[in-house]
Amino acid sequence: MKKIINYILFIAIAATLTSCMEEVGDFTVNGEAITGFELTSPNNNLTITINKSALSETYAFSWDEAESGLGSAIAYTILFDRQDGDFSNPIWSKASDNSGASAKATLSFTELQQVYTAAGGSGTVTVKWNVKAENGSPNVKMGQVANTVKLVVSAAGISNFTLVSPIDKSILLFDGSKENDAFAFDWNNATTTSGTVKYKFYLDEAGGDFSSPLLTIDSDTQGTVSQVSMTHGAWKALLEQNNIAKGSYSWTVKAISTDLEWMKEVFDVYIDFVNWRKPIYIVGEATSVGWDIGKALEMNFIAPNVWSGVFELKAGKEFKFFPEKGSWDNGIGSDRFTNFIGCSDKGGNFGNSGTTDGYYFVIVDLNTKTITVSASPKILGGSVVADWNTENAVPMQHVGGGVFDTYQYITVDGWGFKFVPMNSGWDGDFGASKTKEGYLSQTDENNLTVPANGFYRVRVNMNDFSYSVLETTWGIIGGATSGGWSDDTNMTLTSAVKGEYKWTADITLATGEIKFRANDGWDINFGDDGANGSLEYGGGNIAVTAGNYHIELILNSATGFTYKITAN
C-alpha cells in the first residue's frame, strides 16, 4: 500500500514539473532592453557658425546615458538628417567619442562642414540630429525626441589666437601706489579671411560662461588692437562701478568679424586691491560742520584721484580738504590761485566764490590739481537751446540729495548735449561715460543724445555722476477735474522748439484740488507745499475754486519750477 501511495505522489510531481517547463518553453526572447534617453546639448534650433579659418576646432553634442537591461555595454552613433528625414537613411553619421562608448560626440568644424554640404550647402541649412543606441542584441534605441540645429559657414573666418597676459591662474594686484601706471590685458592678433577683426574683452565670475558677463568693453583704439590698457586707478574705478570686488574671476576675448564672434581661451585670475588712499573729507567755515575736523564731511570717489559731493556752503567762506577725518595731517589746500591745489599742509584755504548760501557741488581732481565749486551743472549742446555756447548754458535745478533736473524740448539733430560747471568756459565739462552706461565722465566722454525729438527731463546726480534722460508729457489731475484722481486732462507743449519748457491747458474746474503729473503716472508729480506758486516733487495738492481757467506749467530750470492759474 505504501509503495502505491509513493508512486501516485511521484506522478503528481512529475506532471507539475512538466507543466512549468512548457510555460518557459513558450516565452520568446527579443533581446536585452535599452532604456529611453534624451538629447541635452546643443539646445534645439541653435545656430552653429562654422569657422572656416579654424576647421580643426570642435563642437560637442551630448545626451543622457541609456542603460541595458542586463548591464551590457552600449554603443552610440550620432546621426544627421534633413528636416523631413526619418533617420532611416541619414545624410551623415559617426560613432560617439571613445569608439562609441561615450554619451558625447565631438565633431570638428571639418565634419560639421561635411554635414552642411550633405544638407545642401547653401546659406543657412537646418538639419535634425539624433543618437542611435545599440547593445549587440536586436534592440536599437533612438533619442526620444530629435533636435534641430542650424548650420552656416562664416564668410569671414577668424583664425585661432591665444591669450597672453595676465596668465592663467595668476593674481592681479591693482595697486594704489601705481595709480597712474598702465596695466594691460593682452592677447595675440587674430586674422580674418575678409575685412578686419575687432575685439571685445569680457570678465565674468569664476567658471562663468560669459553669456551675461560682469564687464564687457571694447579693446583699445575702438576695438581694433589686441589689448585693453588702463591705469591701475582707472581699472579700480571701472571694476568698482560694476560691483566687481576682490575675488576670483575668469577673463576672455572675442574676436569679431562681419558674421562671426570667435572665443578660444579662458583664463582664471584672482583680483585684489592694495595700497589705495583713504577718502577725502571737506571741512571749513563754509561747511555745515565748521572747522570741526572730527565731523569733516566725506566726499564720494568718482574716478582715480577724483572725488565729488554736494554740500551746503556759505557764500564767501573758506574750506579745505583732508584724507582722514579727525586728523589735520596731510591737508590739501590751494596755491595762490584759489581753484588750484597747492602743497599739502602748507596750501591756503579754498573759498566759495558763490554769492548766496545754498547747495553747491564740489569736485576735487588731484590729476589736474583743480577743484570745482558750482551752484549747479549747466546744460548745453547743439540739440538744446544753448547750442555749444557756454555763456548760454542753462542752469539745472537742485531738487534735493545732490540731484539736479532740467526740463526742455531736445532734438535728435545738433550732435547731442553735455554739461559744464560754469558759464565761463569748458573747464571740467561732463559727458557720457564710455565704460559705464548711465554715468558721466570728465575724460574721454561722449555727448549725450536722445532717440527722438521730444520734451525730456534730464537728471544728473553730482554725488555719484549718474544721469538719466526721460521723455515726458504732462497732465492735470485731481478731484477738481472731470477725470478726478484717476484720469489726467492732457496739457499741450507751447511749441516744439529747442528749449521750450511751458505746458498749457484751458480747463473747467470744480471747487477742489489738483496736481500735475507726467506720463499718466505718479512717479513724477508736482504739487505746491507752500501755496506760493512754486512746485515741489510730490508736493501738496493745489486748492482751486470752480471756474474755467488757463493753466500754465512752467518747468524752467534756470528760475525754478512754477505754475500759473488764470481765470478765462
Using alpha carbons, select from 183, 171, 166 the residue that is nearest to residue 248: 171
Instruction: Kindly state the average pLDDT of the residues 67-94.
Output: 93
> Is the CB of residue 242 less than 8 Å from the CB of residue 214?
yes
Domains within the chain, CATH numbers bracketed: 39-153 (2.60.40), 163-274 (2.60.40.10), 281-374 (2.60.40.3620), 378-471 (2.60.40.3620), 474-567 (2.60.40)
Instruction: Kindly state the average pLDDT of the residues 405-421.
Output: 96
Residue 7 has pLDDT above 50, yes or no: no
What percent of the chain has pLDDT above 90? Answer: 74
pTM of structure: 0.58
Residue 368 has pLDDT above 90, yes or no: no
What does the pLDDT read at residue 18?
38
> What would the pLDDT profile of 50-73 be if each residue is shown by its tens digit?
998 889 889 999 999 999 888 889
Residue 20 has pLDDT above 50, yes or no: no
Going along 135-206, which residue ranges are E strands?
A: 140-142, 147-153, 163-165, 170-175, 182-187, 198-205
Residue 152 has pLDDT above 60, yes or no: yes
How far, in Å, CA of 170 to CA of 269, rounded?
A: 5
What does the pLDDT read at residue 13?
39
Q: How would you classify the pairing of strands 431-432 and 440-441?
A: antiparallel
What does the pLDDT read at residue 397?
96
Q: CA of 245: how far to CAs of 6, 208, 232, 248, 561, in Å?
A: 92, 16, 14, 9, 41
Residues 6+ apart with CB under 8 A from 126: 83, 119, 148, 149, 150, 151
Average pLDDT of the chain to the nearest whole number? 89
Instruction: Kindly state the average pLDDT of the residues 185-212.
Output: 94
What percent of the chain has pLDDT above 70? Answer: 92
Using alpha carbons, select from 164, 126, 153, 109 the residue that is nearest to residue 257: 153
Q: Quickly state the pLDDT bin for 21 (edges 50, 70, 90).
A: very low
Residue 1 has pLDDT above 70, yes or no: no
**The three cell numbers locating residue 491:** 496739457
Residue 382: strand, helix, or coil: coil
What does the pLDDT read at residue 419?
97
What does the pLDDT read at residue 330?
85
Q: Of 195-209, 276-290, 432-446, which has the strongest mean pLDDT?
A: 195-209
Give bridge partners of residue 187 from the DSSP assignment.
163
**The three cell numbers locating residue 102:** 561615450
The 8-class DSSP code of residue 70 comes to T
What does the pLDDT read at residue 366?
85
Using alpha carbons, select from 178, 196, 200, 172 the residue that is nearest to residue 276: 178
How far, in Å, CA of 131 to CA of 250, rounded?
A: 34
> What would the pLDDT profile of 238-247 be if each residue is shown by its tens digit?
999 999 999 9
| Residue 535 amino acid letter | L
> What would the pLDDT profile of 114-126 be if each residue is shown by its tens digit?
999 999 988 999 9
| Residue 118 amino acid letter | A
Residue 213 has pLDDT above 70, yes or no: yes
Q: Quickly state the pLDDT bin for 264 (edges 50, 70, 90).
A: confident
> Is the CB of residue 381 less than 8 Å from the CB of residue 414?
yes
What does the pLDDT read at residue 547?
96
Q: Position of cell 585693453?
A: 228
Residue 36 has pLDDT above 80, yes or no: yes
Q: Quickly state the pLDDT bin for 369 (edges 50, 70, 90).
A: confident
Residue 4 has pLDDT above 90, yes or no: no
What does the pLDDT read at residue 142?
87
> What would the pLDDT profile of 327-365 be if each residue is shown by its tens digit?
998 888 886 555 555 544 456 889 898 899 999 999 998
> What would the pLDDT profile of 495-545 be if each residue is shown by its tens digit?
999 989 999 999 999 999 999 999 999 999 999 999 999 999 999 999 999
**The three cell numbers locating residue 165:** 597676459
What does the pLDDT read at residue 70?
80
Instruction: Kindly state the average pLDDT of the residues 167-187.
Output: 93
What does the pLDDT read at residue 341?
58
Residue 464 has pLDDT above 80, yes or no: yes
Q: Quickly state the pLDDT bin for 92 (edges 50, 70, 90).
A: very high
Residue 310 has pLDDT above 60, yes or no: yes
